[in-house]
């Protein structure tokens, strides 16, 4: 089956029997993993069977990819590609910045996972991260780059806001100037009208 024909999804309680089979074949402690059923992402096959499963534990900005199990005699990397598509959607939707794993299949290196020790990461480490060897990490969001972009966007917004304020002040000044001119013209015309009225009244009295 092609990757496009496979659709990974979150595991449900109905998947427990099929998951147990995968975990047993992979030599994983199914008794412990069963309690974390909702952490798993699976690729369903025919007849309620599962072709692949992997755990995804999310802790704030970090996630742990663990306990990979694949059905025998399958295209392993094709199944991993389907899992990876779903993993990316779920982690991005939940604001995950870093995904850690000790899964050692070459496929995960092609997804951007690189060897990284706990000491190399200056940010606060998640609780699942143990000071052991074999960790690889992929960053979904470069926090330094994200900060730089946020500052850049803030600068653009402030510049735009300043320009808008300046344009508004120019409009207000122009409006005030026009209003003052209109008021001055109205006052002048009123003065002329009053002066003409007074003059007419005075001339009228003189001619009587």
Q: Are 111 and 139 in contact (CB under 8 A)?
A: no
Which CATH number does the domain 3-141 belong to among 3.20.20.80, 3.30.70.1290, 3.30.300.180, 3.40.630.30? 3.40.630.30
pTM: predicted TM-score of the whole model, two decimal places: 0.64
- pLDDT string in tens for the chain (208-residue length): 444 468 899 999 999 999 999 999 999 999 999 999 999 999 998 877 899 999 999 998 899 999 999 998 889 999 999 999 999 999 999 999 999 999 999 999 999 999 876 666 655 677 787 766 788 999 986 555 545 544 556 666 666 777 777 778 888 888 888 888 888 888 888 888 777 777 676 656 655 5
Per-domain residue ranges of the chain: 3-141, 142-208
């Amino acid at each position: 089956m092609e990757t496009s024909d496979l659709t990974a999804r979150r595991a449900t309680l109905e998947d427990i029997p099929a998951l147990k089979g995968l975990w047993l074949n992979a030599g994983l402690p199914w008794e412990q993993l069963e309690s974390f059923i909702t952490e798993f992402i699976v690729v369903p096959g025919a007849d309620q069977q599962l072709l692949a499963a992997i755990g995804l534990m999310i802790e704030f900005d970090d996630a742990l990819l663990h306990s990979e199990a694949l059905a025998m005699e399958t295209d392993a990397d094709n199944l991993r590609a389907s899992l990876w598509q779903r993993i990316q959607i779920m982690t991005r939707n939940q604001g995950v910045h870093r995904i850690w794993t000790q899964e050692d299949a070459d496929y995960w290196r092609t997804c951007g996972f690189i060897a990284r020790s706990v000491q190399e990461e200056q940010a606060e480490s998640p609780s699942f991260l143990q000071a052991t060897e074999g960790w690889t990490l992929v960053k979904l969001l470069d926090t330094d780059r994200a900060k730089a972009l946020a500052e850049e966007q803030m600068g653009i917004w402030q510049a735009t806001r300043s320009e808008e304020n300046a344009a508004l002040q120019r409009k207000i000044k122009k409006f005030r100037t026009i209003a003052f001119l209109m008021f001055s013209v109205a006052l002048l015309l009123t003065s002329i009208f009053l002066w003409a009225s007074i003059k007419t009244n005075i001339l009228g009295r003189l001619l009587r």
